[in-house]
Structure 1
């Protein structure tokens, strides 16, 4: 196989970025088809990028005999069904998170991946492919910080995007499911265990609109893991300064911190406001390289006939834990996982 011919479903912000990476930045991939509801988007990529095939229907796209794989970046509620259909059509599948919007959907995705085990399936937990997060994992695995005992993570969206968050809230599943799944995945990865108890609190401190969905604009959770380790998660929608993802792993011999200041780059600005650093403003800017790296890994797995480190079961487990966080948040009680 000279190049992996791939089709992309979904041309929203992230889907467009994935398609662009496949078209121009991943040498072993060829963007052969795109599928979206937006006619203008389809015409643009066909004209500007020379994409041979465009579709408005996913089932039509996966019938294209030229395709080797698909990348799913459609709305969350469509993922499970599209994963199953693409695998059944003989295609390798990369799907953005979440694996499914319910644990039951995730189980269905598991069955499909198990049934078509000769195909590569990969889920988009891109933080594992960020250079700093990978480096931290190597430090932990080498024992450099001793035994990891506490994982702390902050994930915050900018206040300036709040209208979009409110509009999407009814479909998001809540903060823990929509945003904290990345931190849950990292906690499991770094601590090498599964959580067994969770207590969650939060509220609508600035935007009461989220209350109708039993959600908050800022929420947090404290988890106890089966190996005795702890994890604290905070997810917010009202950061005044920009997109903020901050992670800390405390061990018995040392501490690792990643992104403690969400700086845009290494530049410092000295002006009449003092000395300051600009911050990343969205997830595409902060994790630009990670999104490229994860899809490049997917393509390499197909070519090299191997399976990626992120599995379908990681998707199910993080969804299950996120729902338990939501349950604990809604009940106000310590909840068993």
Structure 2
């Protein structure tokens, strides 16, 4: 079935993205995976091409594109070329950090940060998770205390995507310990702030080149006007932006599932066993049929959610359903595809091997599958309250 989700402009952009990845990313990707860090040059190249900061308004140096289907195209092409570590960092920068600044930032903050972010010169991160606070953000202990014209920040964050390269970090802080969920604020910490340091660059199961780090804040002083949004409304700001974050993960998940299926479909009709392609064996055909059906049904749902996002109608519940379903589907599909590749599926020289280790985190970050189900379940229960 032909997807009607994309129009001519999106498909033309797809060809440009495909050419950019082949020229600027793919030739270096193995080295980055070995070095366990993507070069900053990849970010500036993406900035020159216009693949970073699509949502930054033109007056601040961006493309001013609010149609998320263009980011959807980027996700699909990154999945197709198996350069997932690059895509993961880009998603945090473009789908989380930039929207926070665009929607919550003052004019001065936008002028200060957005041009560099659109150019790929400034890399963004958001610091929510702590050693003792993951999905339950109300467990955040990092504090920010007002001292005259400054905030003084103390605490530690972990599992922070883009943590090593980050030039600006949106830090979730507790600014009023007595106010419960109304005691959190978002404060931007810049790279050279005294007392701000990087801890370990974390060694992960997958996404080897994707920059993930611990961040440490020891009496970090930042200007009072680095407060992003409204003091005490940090938790609300996070909830308002979670639908975009979670549909972003869902988009990446279904794109990765589709890519794994396509690689495997080609492989099983090239690989022979018992004198014929393994794609002609009934078990293989049933597996392909099941995966294709699940992928196409899920693609249709995700496409509708992306359109709803553009119309301002995507709810937190819809995004949560999409996130858990698409990521769980991704892990199932990738696992089956590894099996159909046989021993070669376990080799990192094949893209399916890399997809196998890269996919596992998807059901965890951005809110675990269990948390997503709890959000959906609470919504169902609310109908009877």
Please give the TM-score of this superposition, normalised by the length of structure 1.
0.31
Q: Which has the higher helix share?
A: 2
Larger radius of gyration: 2
Structure number with the bigger relative contact order (C-alpha 8 A, sep ≥ 6) is: 1
